[in-house]
Structure 1
């Protein structure tokens, strides 16, 4: 039988989409799996898609049968490593320790408990699981007959499955849970059940102590005033802490899919406070949490009521004709449109601009591409049409799956198996304090970025009658990517260095999308710099030099060189834009 005959036979047997992309009729087994999962109370908490997982497993199975020689090679490698594992286990039993046959990936914290290394049985179980998982992922990565997007999708859902069946996620195969059960006399299981019922009721896994923080009390407490309010934004001006300040102020555009106080957490990890204490005059946009009555606000509304209005207000209060702008994530994408818009209409207010983990080129968006396709956008547009907005839980669930072991399964173990309350962690509190997305703006954004990648096509996006061309960004640019970012891959963040026209400085911070930006001086995470130009992101990193400490200091020095002279601080507000209320304002408190 030829390989193509094997493929056809398996496709017909399991009734799955063929490798050439053509679909067979809906599989009743898939429908049944979906229905059974929806009936499971865990389905309200765990953003898993069992039908997609099963579909990916079937595609993997089909592809393997299409190339029996490769299946045999992978199986032979697996047997060889498994035999090494068994020999090592026997030697340990005889008192002759040996090195592990397979180890967890860097950053995998699931097996940190001493039992996973010291107990021979648990060590063998851990390595058997890791060996099987590694073999399957390797097989998925070498599939033939599929394009890169299809391979990514299969690998993504396969990893979801493998993460879910980790021995750490089950009572009898998690030594930490067994110890806790014996120690507490089973109280952990009773408490875990109560925690599960609580979370099912709210429809969300509790990831941090939600009673430990409150914006304006112990988060977002850098002194400042709201000096402008519209139906979409509050603009906050921060009180200076130095006798002299730099004459050119700084404007932050945070993402409107989150609340701004990620930039102003507690005093020791507040980027805004860090800048204020360095002598910068800082303004930030605090986006309103939109409801159904705001569904008509499009991206032009975000542009007009957000950065364009903020620039006018700041110029009126400070008397300056220059402003340094900073955009974070999707706020940076909006800033990528704002700067060329202003340059095109002859407004040279923006002096220099900074992008934190920002996408301009959406060609490679990492694992989020698994979700954001035509089918997904059609689905959420239907939800937004019904509600007038997209609920923040939808986006939060998607992002949590990208780091399932850290954000989902670790909490399942802690909350429901160990029966413990999650610890107080400010970044996780902020992460759970999401915002909704206005229908018109979010639909425009998804179509023109993730689906069509129009921002890198000069003149394809037109805002307020002005064609947007990233090549018209002639100001100096400072851009930050983060090494472990699952939302904005650092190689994609680097692309601004090839798209913008001005002088560029790019750095890569350690950690991920949030922790890599809130890189406080006390954390000492380090970062990479490269003063030379590079044709590709890989070339840039190969020649980059590791640096100690926080990149905040590097950025502050870059800003100082572009921040003008030292002058007396401007007033807090003005007659035209008087202080309305103290920071953090009212919009950030809306649920």
Structure 2
């Protein structure tokens, strides 16, 4: 039994905290504010799902069939529940997916009442998903959006999210006499305050990390800086290094140190230990001053300026390069530009979970139709950039049960602060996007897919990836929600030279950051990326361990000559400060 005196006291505290939280949420916002455009987004959800509903309601026979199917499922559920009440054990009507942890607590299955709630939810949500899947007369983009929005709604309405419908939360609340709800509401108010009026769900304890102290700690120096980026050269760890220097182009959505989380998981540190002269771009966290910095600016003032500086520091005119995610897309654009102009300074390229063909770009395409891009452009026009929290929210919505609702339950219902986790600390370290650059990217890649068609124009140059003949290592990850494996696979065919397609296990981050010392996932190799991805996987060779050594062997074959190790900056570029530099510390 709960402590009723404590329960009463906590109920009073809960009401007080609720008042403070409501006051924080409804506080007037300055300028654009985090809630700007919210009504437009809700309107698009209603319009999209309404389109699906109209298609069903326009055919009374199909509507009756759909209603009958749902009714029959519930009649069967009532029957099995009645048998369970009699002590029998009939098989369930609906069971969660094997990886669905929301219903892991034993009472979801052993208690007939909560088992009924669970199965009712599964039956209804799957029935709704079926309506979207089978709706006739709607275009595929509308269907895709409806599936995405429905996933957000069903995730939010799961009985696992609420105290009175979750047996684990009921027990937890009674054991704490409601103190968990008071703590949770206090954290809720803090997170709304941190989000400037919009809930920014915390996923980790940020106090456990500091850039340059226990994340992003590989030794090096900033050897060049301009308005868009700092260039870091890492200190050598071997007596000799490959003669050809190596440039890393990270995404400007999030920060570069995902590749340098800590010495044990750092791809950058491992590359240096293998004898590479590693340079890495650290993008500025842009503000209104960078509003007009477009895709060409990121190429000229980013990649090309970095290659210029590398030449000054090392005396080399050619580099190998790697691009991660949108950084890889920018690298591919640069390769096409160099191929078109004859300025071929990048001699081999590594693309990490990178899309160049956006035909099958996954759920992020939901946000990239003409109406939604116009809305994003209107919001960016007010300040000159897209706030970093908007991109963070979009990525979280790709896996709402894992990245949103599990933390909502843990933080605000159980009243538990999340654990310190370096990956989620990095994920929360948001970056803004300049208006000109982000608009170009959304329109030319997600909306019009111009790069893969050979119709993208940058700096008055039409770009054709078929003219790119250099060796390319193209890494995809099997469970990627951002750059789907199929999308990366089909993008391989857009280049004109030899492409080594490799498929790593896991997803967009864990599949890349998979060190040889403690590998969690394997990888597949299988020759040219031709035909269907499913057929390629079936014929591919599965390899245990990290893909990193396989990749380094590929890289070393391109240019095996070695020279004495180089100090950062050489004799020509004085240090502008130690790695990881100043731009990475700029907060959104």
Relative to structure 1, is the Cα distance of residues 548 and 122 closer, same or farther in structure 2, using a 3 angstrom cutoff? farther
Match of 1:14 in 2: none
From 122, 133, 136, the equivalent of 2:125 is: 133
Relative to structure 1, is the Cα distance of residues 320 and 439 closer, same or farther in structure 2, using a 3 angstrom cutoff? same
Q: How does 1:398-409 map to 2 (within 5 A)?
A: 398-409=394-405
Question: Aligned-pair distance for 1:381?
Answer: 1.6
Relative to structure 1, is the Cα distance of residues 57 and 322 closer, same or farther in structure 2, using a 3 angstrom cutoff? closer
Distance in 2 of aligned mates of 1:573 and 1:410 = 46
Q: 1:236–1:286: 8 Å Cα contact kept in structure 2?
A: yes
Match of 1:11 in 2: none
Distance in 1 of aligned mates of 2:157 and 2:56 = 22
Distance in 2 of aligned mates of 1:291 and 1:199 = 23
Relative to structure 1, is the Cα distance of residues 465 and 406 closer, same or farther in structure 2, using a 3 angstrom cutoff? same
| Correspondence 1:507 to 2:499 | no
| Correspondence 1:534 to 2:526 | no
Q: 1:45–1:199: 8 Å Cα contact kept in structure 2?
A: no
Match of 1:366 in 2: 362
From 270, 276, 280, the equivalent of 1:280 is: 276
Relative to structure 1, is the Cα distance of residues 180 and 72 closer, same or farther in structure 2, using a 3 angstrom cutoff? same
From 303, 313, 316, the equivalent of 2:312 is: 316
Question: Aligned-pair distance for 1:475?
Answer: 0.9
Q: Which runs of 5+ in 2 are unaligned?
A: 1-24, 29-33
Question: Aligned-pair distance for 1:91?
Answer: 4.8
From 426, 450, 455, the equivalent of 1:430 is: 426
Question: Aligned-pair distance for 1:415?
Answer: 1.2
Q: What does the per-residue CA deviation read over 1:28-69, in whole Å, with 9 as the maximum and x for residues that have no partner?
A: xxxxxxxxxx9799x969989544444444333322223344
From 75, 78, 102, the equivalent of 1:110 is: 102
Q: 2:36–2:379: 8 Å Cα contact kept in structure 1?
A: no
Distance in 2 of aligned mates of 1:334 and 1:122 = 50
From 350, 357, 361, the equivalent of 1:354 is: 350
Q: What does the per-residue CA deviation read over 1:70-92, in whole Å, with 9 as the maximum and x for residues that have no partner?
A: 44444454455445544544554
How large is the RMSD of aligned CA atoms in angstroms?
Answer: 2.4
| Correspondence 1:148 to 2:140 | yes
Q: 1:318–1:571: 8 Å Cα contact kept in structure 2?
A: no
Relative to structure 1, is the Cα distance of residues 529 and 111 closer, same or farther in structure 2, using a 3 angstrom cutoff? farther
| Correspondence 1:470 to 2:465 | yes
Q: What does the per-residue CA deviation read over 1:275-298, in whole Å, with 9 as the maximum and x for residues that have no partner?
A: 112222211000011111122222
Relative to structure 1, is the Cα distance of residues 70 and 590 closer, same or farther in structure 2, using a 3 angstrom cutoff? same
Question: Aligned-pair distance for 1:175?
Answer: 1.8
Question: Aligned-pair distance for 1:532?
Answer: 4.8
Match of 1:188 in 2: 180
Question: Aligned-pair distance for 1:320?
Answer: 2.8
| Correspondence 1:497 to 2:492 | yes
From 300, 306, 310, the equivalent of 1:304 is: 300
Q: 1:225–1:580: 8 Å Cα contact kept in structure 2?
A: yes
Match of 1:487 in 2: 482
Greater shift after overlay, 220-229 or 543-552?
A: 543-552
| Correspondence 1:416 to 2:412 | yes
Q: 2:499–2:528: 8 Å Cα contact kept in structure 1?
A: no
Partner SS for 1:502: coil
Match of 2:10 in 1: none
Distance in 2 of aligned mates of 1:519 and 1:71 = 49
Q: 1:56–1:158: 8 Å Cα contact kept in structure 2?
A: no
| Correspondence 1:122 to 2:114 | yes
Match of 1:453 in 2: 449
**Under a length normalisation based on structure 2, what TM-score does the superposition of the two structures give?**
0.88
Greater shift after overlay, 321-330 or 530-539?
A: 530-539
Q: How many residues align?
A: 552
Q: Which runs of 5+ in 1 are unaligned?
A: 1-37
Question: Aligned-pair distance for 1:359?
Answer: 1.5
Match of 2:582 in 1: 586
Q: How does 1:149-164 map to 2 (within 5 A)?
A: 149-164=141-156
Distance in 1 of aligned mates of 2:80 and 2:465 = 57
Q: What does the per-residue CA deviation read over 1:3-33, in whole Å, with 9 as the maximum and x for residues that have no partner?
A: xxxxxxxxxxxxxxxxxxxxxxxxxxxxxxx
Match of 2:55 in 1: 63
